[in-house]
Amino acid sequence: MPLDGDTPLNSLGFAKPPSETRVVVAMSGGVDSSVVAAQLADEGYDVVGVTLQLYDHGAALAKKGACCAGIDIHDARRVAEEKGFPHYVLDYENIFQDAVIDEFADSYLGGATPVPCIRCNERVKFKDLLETAKDLEADCMATGHYIQRKLGEEGPELHSAADANRDQSYFLFSTTPEQLDYLRFPLGHLPNKDATRALAAEYGLAVADKPDSQDICFVPNGDYASVIEKLRPGAAEPGEIVDNEGAVLGTHNGVIHYTIGQRRGLGIGGLTTPLYVVKLDVDKKQVVVGPKELLSTRIIPVREINWLGDEPFESRKEWHMSVKVRSTRPPRDAILRPTGPDTAEVELLTPEEGVSPGQACVFYDNDSSRIYGGGWIWRGY
């Protein structure tokens, strides 16, 4: 926002006092978003807290270790009461079901390994909730994500968090330039999670020592298959476990129980060479296994690309940068070759193991912390 005379920009980048700047804070009930809300309230901003109820409240109360559950709604409300700003709980169950859960189930049934947290940010938090924030006449929306928004020559840029161990850029690559203009990430510059908890203690928040959520919010204990079976009854059809030449090695009770790169739990012991899941053939109901070297991938087709570069994506034949193909792995040197306005072929200079359709491929600058967007890995046909 341009300067208004001699009025300095406040900490959120607006040329007016904090008291005249309304900010909606997306509050999950965890320590991160609670610190953001408390910090902005203490700085004098006109804070409005919003918590989304994303799935069945009754079931949520019985499950620990996931965001947006019943206890988390209570914790978010308590922070708002203690800090004296309004707090709203919005029922987004139907939106979440349509935009996230259904696709998660269908992707799994198609043999992919989906990342629903990305779709939730893209289709729920940074779309519907962001529009709600605008309806509330907020100047911006703030979240507790560990990522940075920096102003560049062409406008706001997305950058990795200062703490590489907390960086959430993999889950936020699909943030559009328009969304980035409206969003704020007050925690992205912090050196580590200890600094966040120290701030929570400083603000007297009861959630200062609350454990981080570990699971996908609607997948208790990481048991994807049981969730799929509830969502799509009869989906777990039995079939064969075969090697890469088609020889039958055993049977399975449903392709949905397996992921690319899996080694344990195959039920085909007694082999001299360790075998890994190298392909899931949904049409034939086959789990294809093979030696580790078959997991090695160099060329990756990517689609639905969200490009955050200053130049048009197709303005170059090649982009030399780093890519991350799994949230838990570091970026690797790669060459991006555009094949359309939102599709590309990505060549990894060092082959990666366990690349799976349904995962994201996120683009990073080789010489800075900037993120150039990313896309979705698919089979290429």
- Catalytically annotated residues: 120, 217
**3-class SS of residue 250:** strand
HSE on the CB side for 159, CA within 13 Å?
A: 21
- Residue tagged 């007016």 (tokens): 16
HSE on the CB side for 20, CA within 13 Å?
A: 8
CB-CB contact of 275 with 289 (8 Å): yes
Distance between CA atoms of residues 129 and 127, nearest Å = 6
Classify 111 in phi/psi space as left (phi over 0), alpha (psi -120 to 50) or beta: left
DSSP string spanning 253-275?
S-GGG--TT--TT-S----SS--
Which residues carry a binding-site annotation for ATP? Answer: 26-33, 52, 144
Alpha-helical runs (H) found in 246-289: none
Cross-strand bridge partners of residue 142: 25, 184
- Residue tagged 């360790």 (tokens): 274
The C-alpha angle 102, 185, 309, rounded to 5 degrees, equals 80
